[in-house]
Structure formats: C-alpha cells, structure tokens
Chains A and B, each alone.
Chain A
Amino acid sequence: MSLRNIGIVYRKELIDSLRDRRTLISMIIVPLLVMPLLTIGMGVLSIALVGVAMREVPQVMILGGQDSPGVVADLHRVKDLQIVPSKPDYAAEISNKKIRAAVEIPEGFEAKLAAGELSTVKIYMYEGELKSGFGADRLQRFFRELRDRSIREHLQARNLPENLAHPFDILETNVAPPEKVGGAVLGGLVPYFVTLLCLTGAMYPAMDLTAGEKERGTIETLLCSPVSRTHLVMGKFLMVLTASIATAVLAITSMALSFGAGKQMLLGITKGASDPALQIAITAKGLISIFFVVLPLAVFFSAALLALSLFAKSFKEAQSYISPLMIIVAMPAIASLLPGVELSPALALIPVLNTSLVSKEIIAGTFHCNMIALIFLSSSFYAGIAIAIAVKLFQREDVLFRT
C-alpha cells in the first residue's frame, strides 16, 4: 500500500467532487435541510393542527331528553359545546363532519337518576377522527361530572361519607428520564433518517467516480497511470466515504441543533405545557456514540455503492442498480421503528437494522456498551467484505471495459 498514491487520487477526487453541484447538494444541502424540516417543521405543523382542533367549539346534537329538561339546560350552558337542533340522520351528520358528536339521553333519565335506577347515556362519535374525539370527550366529561355529583347527593341524602364510592386515589409517576420519554417518540425516526442520509450522501459520488468515469471516457486515461488499481480504488473509496460521513455528521449536527431550537419554539407555542414528547435532550455523549456506530455503516455503504456502480457502464445504469438499494436499505431501518423490535444479540448482526436500533436506544438515553461493541464489529466485518469486493472488481477488465 502506498499512502502517497492513495492520497494523490483522494485529493484529486475531492477537488473534482467539490466542484460538482450535484454532489454538493446531496452531501451538504440535503442533510442541512431535512433534519430541521423533520423536527421543527413536523413538530410545529402537528402542534398547530392539534391546537386548531382543540380550540374549535364542537357542534353536538342532543337526541331525546324531552323529559329531562334540567340536564338539557345544563348541556346548553356548557361553554365549549355548541348544541345544534337534533335531526334523525345524526350518524350521517357525524360521518360528513357537519357535527362532531351526538348524545342520546334515555327516556325518563332525570327521574331514574333521582330514583337511583340504572340507565345508559349513549355518545355517538367517529372513531379515529380527532375533532369528533374532542367533541365526544367533552360530552363524556359533562356526564361523568353529573354522575359524580349525583353519587355525592345520594350519599349525602343517606348520611354516608363521600369517600365510600371513592375509597382510594391512583397516582402514576414517571421514573424514566425525560429524554427516554421523548426518545421513544422521535427517537425511532432519527436513526432512520441518519441511515438513509448516510446512503444518499455516498450515492452520488460513488456513481460519479466509477460509472461516470466510464461514461466520460476518463477511466482509460486513469488506467494509463502507473499507480496500481488497488490504490486507485482505495483513493476513490476514501472520497465516497468522506461524502457519506460528511452527510451523516451534518445530519446529526443539524438534528441536534434543530431539536434545541425546536424545543424552544414548541414550548412557546404550547405556552410552556410540559408535554413529555418535547422533552428531548440529546447529549454530546449520545451524539458521539451515534457517530461511532454509524461510522462502519458509512464504510459499508461507500464500498457497496462503489462496487455496484463500478459494474455499471453508464451513470443511468448505475442509478437503476442503486434506486432499489434505497428501498432495501430503508426496510431494516423501518423495521427498527416497529413496536416490539428490540435489540438482541441476533439482531445486532443484521446490517442497517442493528445500527438503527442502537441509535434509537442511544437517543433514548440508554447505552448498552456490549451491544455497541458487537454492532461496531459486525458492521466493520460487512464493511471489510464490501471493500474487498470493490477492490477485486476494479482489477477485472470485463468490469472496467464492459460493453
């Protein structure tokens, strides 16, 4: 190995690539834009939409209740409910989003309530529809309060203590650190994007440095030089790796920054409400660990992409090999998002999936040092194989001069 020769090739490829607009876009612009868009953009958008839904005064219908004027009058007095005249096709009205929910008051409701007889109040809503859910919630809250009030009245009437129907309280307390709670929400998405950006960052230079050279006819010029083919391919590989790492580092950095900025913005919008989903604190230790586990993956991607596009005759052919790879790589990354997929020694051997899973854990504030080591080693092993294949392919005339 002559480091001087590899260095010469690497330096030239770096200068060459940095003058290429398409490489710059995929290497620098995309990661800088995707992460803030993902965190701030999506966060602001969802909170804004939920806020609109929450501020809306839901229109609801009362069905029946002619013999229970007191309850109906109380319902009309509720501030955040708008009662509309009842119609027989209430179900269709809910489905068509003309009204949000409807409540059916049974016959003789007030009389039964006074007598202590059992009756059922039915609330109609459209399951899964956010605004309909808010409407139904408010109706339910009203009737739950009514029920509690009537229990109290019955108990008082019989001179019994109030806590007879409420013998104890249940209090849930969260022991997970705040980043663990936040991590569970956004933690899954982040490694998915880092993995994908690692791939897209390497993609363009890998194609440009191999299939692109064949297409432009510079490969034959390059092969005239006395530098060995192993050195040529190593120089090219280092350039692709640089692009991949640059993309990943930019993505991770911009992610950390936009979480910081995003948190402030979102807290401002929700007026300081401490929603646990927003309590994300990515530490420097977490960032460095993610970088450490992503590094061998970047090596693997760079070498695999180089080998694959080396085989192609033209840029277009290389693209047609690599586009399916995006989906193949996305699959294990998506699998890591599925509930119940947890890091295990067996899964730690599956490329991409292992990195996504462990990054998820790291963002959630958990560090399994043994797992991180195992994943680093297994990814390095795959990376080594991919480099060996790329080097071997570069020695083969039928690959270099495919017609």
Chain B
Amino acid sequence: MIEALHLIKRFHDNKRGTVCAVDNVSFSCRQGQIYGLLGANGAGKTTTLRMLATILAPSEGTAIVAGFDVIKNPQMVRSRVGFLSAATALYGRLTAREMVEYFGRLHGLDEMTLRLRIDELFERLEMNEFRDRRCDKLSTGMKQKVSIARTLIHDPSVMIFDEPTLGLDVMAARTIVKFIRECRDNGKTVVFSTHVMSEVEKLCDRIGIVHGGELLAEGTLVDLRAQFGIQDLEALFVKVVES
C-alpha cells in the first residue's frame, strides 16, 4: 500500500533560485495494483519516486509506504521497498552473487536465509551460469537480472520502478515488463514511472499524468478515456499536458 499525501519537493538551484520539482502530488496505490506515473522528462517522476523510496526527503507533505511514514520511519520503509531505476547501477568489481549477497546483508538477512533466498532467486531468474562473473563483464540483460535479484532479495511488499526500461533493448525490456506483472500477481504494491505509452496500457491498473511537478489527471485507463473522450492514450496525454 502506498499513499502519497501532498508531496512537495523544492531544490535550490544557483541559477534558477528555488525550483519546485514536485508540487502537491497525492495519489494512492493498493496492494496487488500497478500504478503508472506518466510524464515527459523533467516532469518530476523521478523525484516523486525517490521520495517514496526515502532516498530524498520531501520538503512538505509525506507518504505512507507499506504502513510506515517516509519522514518518521525511513529505515522501516526502505526495508519493505524494492527500488529499481536506470540510475541504480551495480558494483562492477563484485560478482553477481556478491552483489546480491551484499544487499541481502544490508537488509539484515542472516547467512542461512540469505543462501536459500539467493539459490531460489538465481534459479528463478536463470542466473546460475553467470553467478560468479563480475558485474562489469555482464551483458545488459544479465545486469538487469542482477538488479532485479537485488531488489527482491529482502522480499519487499512494495516495488518502485523508475523508468525501468530506459535504454534497454526489446528483449531486456520484455523481461522487465514480465517481472513487473509477476510482482503484482504475487500481491505486491507496484509504482512505476515511464514515458512509454504502450507500457502503461499493458501494465497499469491506475495512471497518473504528471507535468511540471503537478499531478494533472489520475484514474484507471477507462476513467481517463471517459473523462477526456479520447481513446488514444498518446493523444489523451498531450491534451492533458497542454490544457
């Protein structure tokens, strides 16, 4: 369960002064649902998701993630969230196994549980052939799998994906899309951001359209189509942003 409550994030910029990257964003996502944040570059998607993952602290407002307040209990939130983005890279000099182990330990798993969990994940994601290879020697697709294993090692109940398919080829992107769907089917709460319309249509139970830091429209795909009278999502998006 995720509930964003009037999230505001201001940055100080030397040239532009104070910039409001996220302006009063509220939405909620229930367990077993996928919520998609749709927006152009610089719309405030990444900042919103980073606040939900407690990597950034909100300037105002708050969010309740997996039952904990992101301001009051950031550590509890982090131990229940799996966060994956194009910016969350791997340690190149660690092997795939060491990378996942490291995050398992950081999440406080004991060695016994950790070993079982790694064996299970590596089996499920078909990673055993490269488990002892260094991350910087892996292909993009393999790296993606290591990242997925890293986000799943502590069995989080909430998954946050920030543009997870950015820069991936078709096959690697398909793996991610399949993975996001699996997360939902396993009863996890999923939020993800993208600017790819087809991903939104394929995956999302609810959609939020963000622009200039504000959440301009929100609802299920059916709701939004009815509200704006437009079938095509791309045209709908352009209409919302330009109005």
Contact = CB atoms under 8 A, between A and B. Distances in A.
Interface of A: 5, 8-9, 12, 15-16, 19-20, 216-218, 220-221, 223-228, 397-398, 401
A217 B76 CA distance: 24
B26 interface: no
Contacts of B79: 226
Pick from B11, B90, B94, B102 the residue with the most CB of A within 10 Å. Answer: B102
A220 B85 contact: yes
Contacts of A225: 78, 103, 106-107
Nearest to B105: A8
A216 B106 contact: no
B91 A218 contact: yes
A217 B107 contact: no
B12 interface: yes
Contacts of B53: 224
A226 B107 contact: yes
Nearest to A232: B106
Interface of B: 11-12, 53, 55-57, 75-76, 78-79, 81-83, 85, 87-94, 98, 102-103, 105-108, 150-151
A235 B89 CA distance: 20
A19 B106 contact: no
Pick from B78, B91, B98 the residue with the most CB of A within 10 Å. Answer: B91
Contacts of B105: 8
Nearest to B151: A224
Secondary structure dominating the interface of A:
helix
Contacts of A220: 55, 85, 87-89
A326 to B, nearest CB: 26
A217 B57 contact: no
Nearest to A5: B106
Contacts of A401: 56
Given A8-B106, A15-B98, A217-B88, A224 B93 contact: no
Given A8-B102, A8-B105, A226-B75, A217 B93 contact: no
Given A224-B78, A228-B75, A216 B92 contact: yes
A9 B105 CA distance: 9
Nearest to B83: A224
A224 B89 contact: no
A228 B107 CA distance: 11
Nearest to B9: A397
Contacts of A15: 93-94, 98
Contacts of B102: 8, 12
Contacts of B82: 224
Pick from A16, A20, A225 the residue with the most CB of B within 10 Å. Answer: A225
Given A8-B105, A226-B108, A397-B56, A16 B91 contact: yes
B93 A221 contact: no
A12 B12 CA distance: 34
Contact of B89 (A12, A20, A221): A221
A213 to B, nearest CB: 9
Contacts of B57: 397
Contacts of B76: 226
Contacts of A216: 89, 92
Contacts of A223: 55
B90 A218 contact: yes
A16 B103 CA distance: 14
B162 to A, nearest CB: 9
8 contacts: A8-B105, A12-B102, A16-B91, A217-B88, A220-B89, A221-B90, A225-B107, A228-B75
B78 A217 contact: no
B11 to A, nearest CB: 8
Nearest to A12: B102
Contacts of B93: 15-16, 19-20
A221 B150 contact: yes
Contacts of B56: 397, 401
Contact of B94 (A12, A217, A227): A12
Given A12-B94, A16-B94, A218-B90, 11 more contacts: A8-B106, A12-B98, A12-B102, A216-B89, A217-B88, A218-B89, A220-B55, A220-B87, A224-B53, A224-B82, A397-B56
A217 B87 contact: yes
Nearest to A231: B106
A218 B94 CA distance: 12
A224 B52 CA distance: 11
Contacts of B75: 226, 228
A236 to B, nearest CB: 13
Contacts of B89: 216-218, 220-221
B163 to A, nearest CB: 13
Contacts of B151: 224
Nearest to B75: A226
A9 B76 CA distance: 19
A12 B101 CA distance: 10
A224 B55 contact: yes
A1 B106 CA distance: 14
Contacts of A19: 93
A216 B92 CA distance: 9
A197 B81 CA distance: 43
A70 B65 CA distance: 110
B106 A227 contact: yes
B65 to A, nearest CB: 13
Contacts of A397: 56-57
Pick from B81, B88, B92 the residue with the most CB of A within 10 Å. Answer: B88
A10 to B, nearest CB: 12
A227 B90 CA distance: 17
Contacts of A16: 91, 93-94
Question: Which 10 residue pairs are nearest across A and B when measured between Cβ atoms?
Answer: A217-B89, A225-B106, A226-B79, A221-B88, A226-B78, A19-B93, A224-B83, A8-B105, A226-B75, A223-B55
